[in-house]
Amino acid sequence: MASRAVIAVLVVSLAIAARCAAAAEMVDLADRPPPKTADIVVYGGTAGGIAAAIQAARMGKTVLLVEPGRHLGGLTSGGLGATDIGNKQAIGGVAREFYRRLGKHYEQPSAWTFQPPDAFLKRRQPTKELEMWTFEPHVAEMILRDWLREANVSVILGERLDLKQGVSKQDGRIVSITMESGLTCDARMFIDATYEGDLLAGAGVSHHIGREANATYRETYNGVQTQQATKHQFMVPVDPFRMPGNPQSGLLPGIQEEGPGEEGAGDKRVQAYNFRMCLTDVAENRIPFPKPAGYDPLRYELLARYIQGGVWDAFCSNLPMPNHKTDTNNCGGFSTDNIGMNYAWPEGDHATRERLFTEHVTYQQGLMWFLANDPRVPEKIRTQISQWGLCKDEFTDNGGWPHQLYVREARRMVSDHVMTQHNCQGRATVDDPVGLAAYSMDSHNVQRYARDGRVYNEGDVQIHGITPYPIAYRSIRPRESECKNLLVPVCLSASHIAYGSIRMEPVFMVLGQSAATAAVHALDEGVSVQQIDPAKLQKRLLADQQVLAWTGAPLGRDPKKLPGVVVDDTAAKTTGDWSHSSSIPGFVGVSYLHDGNANKGSCRAVFSATLPKPGRYEVRVACTPNANRATNVPVTIATAAGDKTLTLNQQKAVKDGFATLGMFDLGTMPTVTITNAGTNGHVIVDAVQFVVAE
């Protein structure tokens, strides 16, 4: 059996090889020599690129899909199995078809090798849906590959665009793209479906990198955001210096020398990347966390001090996937996000990205090795982490390590319409919709800095309460003066904070399908992508089951339509690291809060009500029961006779979505406080209802 050190070297070597131009290969999924000419060339085999290729093929065009790496699906097959959506009903067309194909796969008993289906579905997919929204990486890639074969799409893998002179244009149109190997692909229409926007940049299309100033688009959540950076923050003071208390010793690795910058000002910094690890606690399918070559224990000294300070939150986003696997994401003040180490990625050449890719592998593998083995970590935590490992049956050509880095944001096109915070919050709308977005405005941390002898993160912004809103066609095509035959469904035209809402894999698939439809219309009408008939485009999109307008009710129950006085979680005063979710239906408003079954004792939500008169009221707490909920949630009610603390069982079924706490004599401004102190499962915070006694 190979040692952990040997495994570590193998994993890093395979990770590099999977992205290396020297390993380039042509693969056609229909087992025929791939053509070099097509009606439409899609560059980037992300889920959005695959949706575009399938749609174009279904509309009768020849399609060539070119992917720089050796795998298809991007993050959808790269570990992000816990699909970020916002509202499932906003997803239509090819995207919904993909999730239904996943649903059909998991209907088969053979799909469940390490877990009975009911044991998973009752926790993560309790409703009887045709779609499956949580899935294993290898299953996603298998379905995408089979789908491309069915659609007769020609695919080339392992061919990277020549970033210096790989785009040839004539009369404002791209005529061909050339790879580093010298392979040239000709087409009449092109779609850039990469996470980086390499094709749009090569075509001379305007774009932006980093955060715009708030003043640019009259936003409030763009630019430097120290005041909003309360999530994934250090919850206790942690000394930033190599020698504690000695600034002359220098800062620990990962902490920048300068301050965060002026509040709301723009910069070139990019939100952090990481790998969405697929882990398992099944011994026969588990690979122990490898110790990477170049492991530096000093890189994790900051985390060691944080844990010693009493906070353990680095592993609280370990979402269950089928077959006892997980989608493990960043969580807490110091976790899998390699903050500040990706600034050169968006415009970096291939060699630069290889270096940064390896740096991220080393950092994240080193983090898991540290947590499982370093004596600075309490034994209880080491034992917990060692129960997990990489999966033998995932990323099998890469030592169990994801092949796709989570490039959350790189270039963003600047076109005739820039999607902004105003679109996300419904203050502005568009008349040329090609799909809906529905997720919260979300940015991961951008930088880590020191001030007054302690360390801080900056850039994490989470603004919830988003009703599905339309995305403009003008935001996925360039200005006509810059390029007439290019569509950009992934690096679309959006501000940093608006992109944080749009940048979800299902939405990229929606926009990929719409981009391909527009490309076909431009070909058939003999016009530029800017001059197609928008009414004709929308008619075809609707015929293909795209959702272009939101006509439904709010995500959950409208608190204004419930009896009594209802205070939603959006109006509660919260402390601690709560997360928003809409996974279990029946909640009030747009979502509910949960503690991730972590940070016990540090999460609190205070609901303050204004009642029409003092008197006797029934106090009720909204709750969507589930098997993973806590059975001992402390709830304190400020009554006329003093505080009254009760314990709420959030696994227990409740009538009409509310658990009754009892009848209490209340003043006109009572409070109800919910905490996660000493709880034995996920704590849910949704709404509190006050109903006057009859």
pLDDT of residue 586: 84
Q: Where in the chain is the domain with CATH 3.50.50.60?
A: 28-210+409-437+474-543
Residue 279 CA to residue 395 CA, distance in Å, equals 11
- Where do we find the tokens 């495994």? 7
First to last CA, the chain: 72
pLDDT of residue 7: 43
Q: What is the mean pLDDT of the chain?
A: 92
How confident is the model over 381-433, as pLDDT tens digits?
999 999 999 999 999 999 999 999 999 999 999 999 999 999 998 889 999 99
Residue 410 CA to residue 195 CA, distance in Å, equals 7
pLDDT of residue 553: 56
How confident is the model over 440-483, as pLDDT tens digits?
999 999 999 999 999 999 999 988 878 899 999 999 999 999 99
pLDDT of residue 133: 93
pLDDT band, residue 26 (cuts 50/70/90): very low
Specify the higher pLDDT residue, 278 or 316. Answer: 278
Statement: residue 24 has pLDDT above 50:
no
pLDDT band, residue 190 (cuts 50/70/90): very high
Q: Does residue 605 contact residue 676 with C-beta atoms inside 8 Å? A: no
Task: Encode 235-270: b = buried (16+ Cβ within 10 Å), e = exposed.
Answer: beebbbbeeeeeeeeebbebbeeeebbeebebbebb
Q: Residues 76-94: what's their mean pLDDT?
A: 92
pLDDT of residue 5: 40
pLDDT band, residue 570 (cuts 50/70/90): confident
Residue 296 CA to residue 250 CA, distance in Å, equals 17
pLDDT of residue 31: 57
Tokens of 25: 């290969």
**Residue 170 backbone dihedrals phi, psi, to 5 degrees:** -140, 130
How confident is the model over 402-411, as pLDDT tens digits?
999 999 999 9
Statement: residue 35 has pLDDT above 80:
no
Tokens of 462: 């989470």
Q: Residues 279-289: what's their mean pLDDT?
A: 97
pTM for the whole thing? 0.82
Q: Residue ranges of the alpha helices (H) in 526-573?
A: 534-543
Q: Where in the chain is the domain with CATH 2.60.120.260?
A: 559-692
pLDDT band, residue 285 (cuts 50/70/90): very high
Q: Residues 487-510: what's their mean pLDDT?
A: 98
Specify the higher pLDDT residue, 656 or 281. Answer: 281
331: left (phi over 0), alpha (psi -120 to 50) or beta: beta
Q: Residues 565-585: what's their mean pLDDT?
A: 83
pLDDT band, residue 21 (cuts 50/70/90): very low
pLDDT band, residue 20 (cuts 50/70/90): very low
545: left (phi over 0), alpha (psi -120 to 50) or beta: left
**Residue 423 backbone dihedrals phi, psi, to 5 degrees:** -65, -45
- Where do we find the tokens 């298809």? 72
Q: Residue ranges of the alpha helices (H) in 79-230?
A: 93-106, 117-124, 137-150, 198-202, 214-217
Packed helices 350-373 and 379-386: angle between N→C axes, nearest 10 degrees: 120
pLDDT of residue 661: 93
Residue 366 CA to residue 378 CA, distance in Å, equals 17
pLDDT of residue 394: 98
Tokens of 158: 């392992």
Question: 266 CB contacts (<8 Å, ≥6 apart)?
Answer: 210, 211, 212, 213, 216, 222, 223
Least confident of 267-271, 506-510, 659-663: 659-663
Residue 387 CA to residue 385 CA, distance in Å, equals 5
* Domain 559-692 CATH assignment equals 3.40.50.720: no
Residue 273 CA to residue 192 CA, distance in Å, equals 21
Q: Residue ranges of the alpha helices (H) in 235-344?
A: 301-308
- Where do we find the tokens 């009572």? 670
How confident is the model over 515-536, as pLDDT tens digits?
999 999 999 999 999 999 999 9
Superfamily holding 28-210+409-437+474-543:
FAD/NAD(P)-binding domain (3.50.50.60)
Q: Does residue 572 contact residue 592 with C-beta atoms inside 8 Å? A: no
pLDDT band, residue 125 (cuts 50/70/90): low
Q: Residues 122-137: what's their mean pLDDT?
A: 81
pLDDT of residue 466: 86
pLDDT of residue 33: 66
Q: Which of 585, 562, 558 is nearest to 570 (CA)?
A: 558
How confident is the model over 459-471, as pLDDT tens digits?
999 888 788 999 9
Q: What's CA 11's distance to the chain center, in Å?
A: 24
How confident is the model over 363-381, as pLDDT tens digits?
999 999 999 999 999 999 9
Tokens of 686: 């949704």
The type of residue at 249 is S
Tokens of 571: 């109006």
- Where do we find the tokens 């999607």? 419
pLDDT band, residue 595 (cuts 50/70/90): confident
365: left (phi over 0), alpha (psi -120 to 50) or beta: alpha
